[in-house]
Structure 1
Amino acid sequence: MVGGGGQLWREYVLKSVADSYDLWLFAPKAPTWESRYLRGNTIVDTLDAFESIESAVRLAESVEVAGVLCYDEIRVPVAAMMAEELKLPTANAEGVLACRDKYLGRQALAAAGVAQPVSRAVASLEEAREVAEAIGYPVVLKPRALAASVGVVRADGPEALESAYSEAAAAYFDEIPRDRAWVLVEEYLDGPEISVESVCRNGRVTPMFVARKALGFAPHFEEVGHTVSADDPLLHDPAVRRVLQEAHTALGLDTLVTHTELRLTRTGPRLVEVNARLGGDLIPYVARLATGVDYGMVAAALAAGAQPDVTPVRTASAHVQFLYPEYDLDVTSLTVEEELPAGVHEVRLMAEPGRRLRLPPRDHVAGRYAYVVTTGASPEGCADALHAAKPLVHLAGTPVD
């Protein structure tokens, strides 16, 4: 396992995988919450491919390594290189890198004629203006190698471009080096957005489930909720399946679980991006409630060379909704009532008193104070349960400028 991730977001994966496999964690720091699920660990810079591969080879001399698994967005390229060196099932490291670097991915997809937005990399505001005029407004500006919608913003016209460019250009993660042409300017795709979790085995793509996104905080693209239905008709939609297969083939992806984002435009589904990992935001957790399939185990089995069964064992819907304050504040109290209505599977508080919550774009995921997971026979049933649950979560705080 390369990278443990945050406990709130990934413990459910580690827990289920540890029930069937011995796990050895590669991470830059000693394990904390992960320890109960591990057989052992190696402290190594998991962004240094040479050092990580060398450590993996040494480990393989003393224990049998069945596979390499990674759900950490910025570490998946190194994990793929480790698997290649150990001659284990893998995605193809070059393809994974193209998923991680959106500019490289766009180039590969464009060369194969995959349906996607027009996209150009720019290194200055002047270049951004030229590209936006050529594409036509509205446009979307985004950093080429981040995640969680950080720095992604829509500009509806020339008057909005400078602030959108400044935001995209300033966005960064500490562990990710910045390229000179750091910002992508892209055609805006209208229509609902979905994500599709798929098994790709020897290059053949099988969709497992569809998550329908709820977006907020326009002109940004904050993901505020996800709904999964086991019998979603989009799973069998020929156009969706065609774009999925064409994208994976264009990127050269081989054996892995992927999280692909699409827009359902008036002219058909068009690709937003392919991620060479399990989806975040608790999407696989919610999907398990809807389908009965453990998607962490699917990813682990695939990494170990097995052929996992992804057939749903139940037909239901499930939803996760993230709660945000109405304005920026310092939390003074956060509670949830004990008696929860039918259909509410879980309410999790995500902030302690003293925590400062800031709304997007000042903060993104960090601005959430709770999440609510609901289940039902349909998306409408999930929505009804959510409507009943939200008033039972009580947030109080002091406004901040």
Structure 2
Amino acid sequence: MTQQKAYIFCENLYPLVLARRAVYAKDAGYRTILISTELSAPEIKSLRDFEESKLEGKTVFDVMIPTDLFDLDTLRQHVAEIEKETPIGGFMCGIGTFHNGSLVGSNVSILAEERGLVSQNSDAVFRCNNKFLTRDALRAAGVPTVDFGMATDEETARVHASRIGYPVILKPVNGAASHMIVKCSNEEELVSKFRDAMERLPNSTNKGSYESAHSYPDRSGTVVHFDPMTSMLVEKYIPGREASVEMMITEDEYIPLLVHDKVTMSERERCFYEHLLVVPPQRFTQEEEQEMKDYAVAVAKAVGLKNSFSHVELRYGDDGMGPQLLEINPRIGGMWVQESIKALVGIDPQPIHVKMMDGTFTAESEYKSSDEIHAMFTIYPPHSGLLEKVDGLEELKQIPEMIHSKQAVPNGSVIYAEDEECFLVMCFIKTDSYERVYEIYEDACKMVSFTINQNVTSQEEVANA
């Protein structure tokens, strides 16, 4: 009798994103093991509710190993203990961002590579999670990318911006959710916003990631030290239309699936917000759409990513610039991207990813996308504070074209609306026209309202109340 193998899931940020994938692994005969931060009371309740509703009370994870240490040595120790009883058939990470000095996603890939198992490529995962190293990889591969540099203080910020030419963008080297991305039109703004960032980063919601100082070689082999808490990436501002390419990458194939057209965007003081996305793209010709897909493939090849879904954000630059990278993620996109792929391409990324990471997935010869109009949008909170309630959710569900709508952040959470994209209410629709998309979006924004206590500025205040 063949011994049952273990499928190890590892995540430091949102462990429950792996729950449904673990179900598919169990269905394939694996023993499922989760290594993650200790689940909070709300997370435990959500997991138990999921098990009751979807699994008739059966557990998603056979073993759960709580930890706040995701360095390679600690993970190796956990895995060695598992291997005393069970051989391992696959590893999977969810978001896998930096955590207390370690890049979790890259470390999980190393564990797979050490055992000859399928991996996303640990080096590629690292470069995807460091925006300087991403652009360095593109430059080394000859893939078009804007000029950039690391600002470790105000003077180096001035030097890089002067060389690059205004306007420039300042952004954390390992940020997420458009956190603390600021546009600077001149030297005065550059210095002011750099100083502001240095004050805000230590108190941000992404503090644990920014505290993760690290060193890594660029493509020339020069080891570069990064301290995200005291530095910012400087890069040329890209004027143009924004979009994202959703890709499926196997061991040796790069398959663009969809292009989402970000038709409604806004640039605020400390964050860029994407409000409304449509697919198929409305503002791009078929030639431009194909150009973006080809460019996304070139980007993924340049960093070396494999065995992964990937979300490639770009702008189609004005004045003949063509597609230009904003960032590449070694995972599926947020909001309703997963549902969009299911609706338009007819595949479910969750079970496919499980099969990718144990080496049993074979891509089809062709993936075609429907031309039926779909859209996703977010309704953002107007300001920061304690979220007390959201009104209008039932009215949203009554919209005939609504496929999915949800409140993504629970009441009782402190939100930071000015510094990052807070996907508070998210909707996914199918319509007969782009005009109807805009009508629904405008109506939804009028339907939904938020009650937010601006006097509460941190979750610690809530805990101590």
Q: TM-score surpassing 0.5?
A: yes
For 2:129, the equivalent position in structure 1 comes to 100
Contact 1:334 1:351 in 2 (8 A): no
Q: CA deviation at 1:313?
A: 7.5
187, 201, 213: which one aligns with 2:236:
187
For 1:55, the equivalent position in structure 2 comes to 78
For 1:43, the equivalent position in structure 2 comes to 66
Deviations, residues 303-355 of structure 1 (Å, cap 9, x unaligned): 12112448357543333322223344555542225351211223323456665
CA distance in 2 between counterparts of 1:253 and 1:357 reads 33
CA distance in 2 between counterparts of 1:139 and 1:115 reads 17
Q: 1:256 to 1:227 in 2, by over 3 A?
A: same
Q: 1:399 to 1:231 in 2, by over 3 A?
A: closer
187, 207, 222: which one aligns with 1:173:
207
Is it true that 1:198 corresponds to 2:227 in the alignment?
Answer: no
386, 390, 396: which one aligns with 2:441:
386
For 2:299, the equivalent position in structure 1 comes to 247
The answer to which of 56-65 and 14-23 deviates more is 14-23
Q: 1:335 to 1:357 in 2, by over 3 A?
A: same
Is it true that 1:148 corresponds to 2:177 in the alignment?
Answer: yes
For 2:55, the equivalent position in structure 1 comes to none
Q: CA deviation at 1:270?
A: 1.3
Q: 1:83 to 1:218 in 2, by over 3 A?
A: same
Is it true that 1:208 corresponds to 2:260 in the alignment?
Answer: no
20, 28, 36: which one aligns with 1:27:
36
Q: 1:190 to 1:332 in 2, by over 3 A?
A: same
Contact 1:142 1:183 in 2 (8 A): yes
SS at match of 1:89: coil
Is it true that 1:256 corresponds to 2:308 in the alignment?
Answer: yes
The answer to which of 28-37 and 264-273 deviates more is 28-37
Amino acid at match of 1:322: T
For 1:321, the equivalent position in structure 2 comes to 377
CA distance in 1 between counterparts of 2:259 and 2:407 reads 26
TM-score, normalised relative to structure 1: 0.86
Deviations, residues 27-71 of structure 1 (Å, cap 9, x unaligned): 132572346332332334462112213323442453353322222
CA distance in 2 between counterparts of 1:189 and 1:146 reads 18
Q: Which runs of 5+ in 1 are unaligned?
A: none
For 1:80, the equivalent position in structure 2 comes to 109
CA distance in 2 between counterparts of 1:378 and 1:86 reads 51
CA distance in 2 between counterparts of 1:320 and 1:81 reads 35
Q: CA deviation at 1:155?
A: 0.5
Aligned length: 397
For 1:291, the equivalent position in structure 2 comes to 345
TM-score, normalised relative to structure 2: 0.75
Is it true that 1:349 corresponds to 2:407 in the alignment?
Answer: yes
67, 80, 89: which one aligns with 2:90:
67
Task: Give 1 or 2 for the bigger CA radius of gyration.
Answer: 2
SS at match of 1:174: helix
Deviations, residues 355-374 of structure 1 (Å, cap 9, x unaligned): 5544312xx244x5422322
Contact 2:120 2:307 in 1 (8 A): yes
RMSD: 3.1
The answer to which of 107-116 and 215-224 deviates more is 215-224
